[in-house]
Amino acid sequence: MPSDTTQELPWPAVPSSNDLPDPAGPAPDPAGLTRRGLVSKLAALGVGATGVGAAAVAVVSFQDEARAAAKAAAPKAAEHAWCMVIDLRTCDGCKECTKACQKRHNLRPEQTWINVYEMEDERGGTFNMPRPCMMCEDPPCLKVCPVAATLRTDEGLVLVDTDTCVGSRACMAACPYEARYFNWEEPLPAKRMPMPNTPQMPVAQKGTVGKCVLCADRLPQGELPACVDSCPMGVLYVGDLVTDVAVNSQGSTVVLSEFLHDNDAVRFKEELGTNPRVWYITGHGQTLESAS
């Protein structure tokens, strides 16, 4: 039966804040479901049906209990809440971020986990807009995965377990930021020593999905993600909402909350309620009004 993703995975336990919420209220009254005139004749049958239904509810409840237990065991709050700030005012569209990302994750050229879009501003001019994974706090991609292969760590990273991914691409349909890329073909051969496949540092597998991981393997070491590190303009900041600090490649270290506030930072497609953890600082005339 369904089990909590977080309990089976070999990396540190992740509280399932992102999974199904807690059981809410008592189970629906089984009698209500069998109250069809037709079934009245089949009383015994109804009892059987209720039994099966109740068993299903029991299984679901068990799942919820397991989750609650996992939740209780997990620390109350994460030490970090990773995020990004992208200062569009200085982005010149050189795509060094994309190249560095592709090199680090051994991606095919069309797999642009951080993609630099050319957008139109209010006056018909263009500006460049790097788009990594938004690491939504309420990720649509996570909800739609039929096999729970997308997970969210307690530090807010939305990751894919490519050993579970069944390749349904439901997440690609659901992502409002087009941030997911599929391995339509055999991935490029590994250039370095083969590393174990983890959600934090995935090794591409044909027929599974991939996306920006914000270099989840680097962050605990205090290192910058490849894209942030490589940006020659210091456009990309990686930040931590808990310790309230953000840094870029140019040695700029800022108090995150003040930086966002002072620069009127905005989030892309705020109206969708995904609560992305990527903020944009827009220049004059630049709007994040998307195509949809």
- Among the candidate windows 93-101, 165-173, 196-204, 279-287, which touches another protein by CB under 8 A? 165-173
| Interface with another protein: number of residues (CB under 8 A) | 115
> What would the x/- binding string for another protein be over residues 18 to 57, using CB under 8 A?
xxxxxxxx-xx-x--xx---xx-xx--x--xxxxxxxxxx
- Among the candidate windows 86-94, 98-106, 191-199, 249-257, which touches another protein by CB under 8 A? 249-257
Q: Which is nearer to another protein, 15 or 193 (CB)?
A: 15
CA pair distance 131, 138, nearest whole angstrom: 18
- Among the candidate windows 84-92, 141-149, 192-200, 279-287, which touches another protein by CB under 8 A? 141-149
* Residue 260 CB, nearest approach to another protein (Å): 11
Chain positions 109 to 128 lying near another protein, rule: CB under 8 A, are 110-111, 117-119
* Residue 213 CB, nearest approach to another protein (Å): 17
* Residue 200 CB, nearest approach to another protein (Å): 17
Q: Which is nearer to another protein, 100 or 145 (CB)?
A: 145
Chain-centroid distance, C-alpha 118: 23
CA pair distance 154, 133, nearest whole angstrom: 17
- By CB under 8 A, residue 90 contacts another protein: no
Please state, in angstroms and as integers, the Cα–Cα distance from residue 210 to each residue in 152, 160, 182, following that order.
Answer: 14, 7, 6
The residue among 239, 291, 246, 248 whose CA lies nearest residue 269 is: 291
- By CB under 8 A, residue 11 contacts another protein: no
Q: Which is nearer to another protein, 45 or 195 (CB)?
A: 45
Residue 126 · residue 118 · CB < 8 Å: yes
- By CB under 8 A, residue 156 contacts another protein: yes
- By CB under 8 A, residue 131 contacts another protein: yes
Chain-centroid distance, C-alpha 91: 24
Chain positions 196 to 225 lying near another protein, rule: CB under 8 A, are 205-209, 222-224
- Among the candidate windows 12-20, 92-100, 192-200, 278-286, which touches another protein by CB under 8 A? 12-20
Handedness of CA 41, 44, 45, 47 (dihedral sign): positive
Near another protein by CB under 8 A: residue from 90, 164, 197, 200: 164
Q: 18: how many CB neighbours lie within 10 A of its CB?
A: 23
Chain positions 229 to 248 lying near another protein, rule: CB under 8 A, are 238, 240-245, 247
- By CB under 8 A, residue 146 contacts another protein: yes
* Residue 255 CB, nearest approach to another protein (Å): 5
* Residue 227 three-state SS: helix
Residue 228 · residue 238 · CB < 8 Å: yes
Residue 4 · residue 66 · CB < 8 Å: yes
Please state, in angstroms and as integers, the Cα–Cα distance from residue 26 to each residue in 35, 57, 58, following that order.
Answer: 19, 10, 12
Q: CB within 8 A of 207, min separation 6: which ones?
A: 167, 183
